[in-house]
Structure 1
C-alpha cells in the first residue's frame, strides 16, 4: 500500500511529461510529412558518379 504513495504521483508525472512532449511535437510540425522521409530512401540516385 505504501508503494502506491510513490507510484501514483510518479505515473501522473510520466503521463504529464508524455503529454508535454506530444504537444511540443505537434506545435513544431513534427507530424507534417510522415511519408516523405520514409520514401526518400527509395528514390535513390541511380546515375553513376564520374571520376574527375
Structure 2
C-alpha cells in the first residue's frame, strides 16, 4: 500500500510531462503540414541523388 504513495505522483508527473511535450510540439508547428509528405512520395525526382553513378 505504501507503493501507491510513490506511483500515483509518478504517474501524474509523467502524464503532465507528456502533455507538455504534446503542447510544445503543437505550438512549434510539428503538425502543420500533414499532407505534404504523403503527396511528395508520388512525384519522381528528375535527377539522381549526388554520388549515384548508375546510368
Give TM-score, length-normalised by structure 2.
0.71
Residue 4 of structure 1 pairs with residue 7 of structure 2: no
List, as ranges, runs of 4+ consecutive aligned residues in structure 1 with deviation greater than 4 Å: none
Aligned residues: 49
Instruction: Structure 1: give runs of 5+ residues left out of the alignment.
Output: none
Unaligned runs of 5+ in 2: none
The two structures, once aligned, show a CA RMSD in angstroms of: 2.0
3-state SS of paired residue (2:37): helix
TM-score by structure 1 length?
0.75
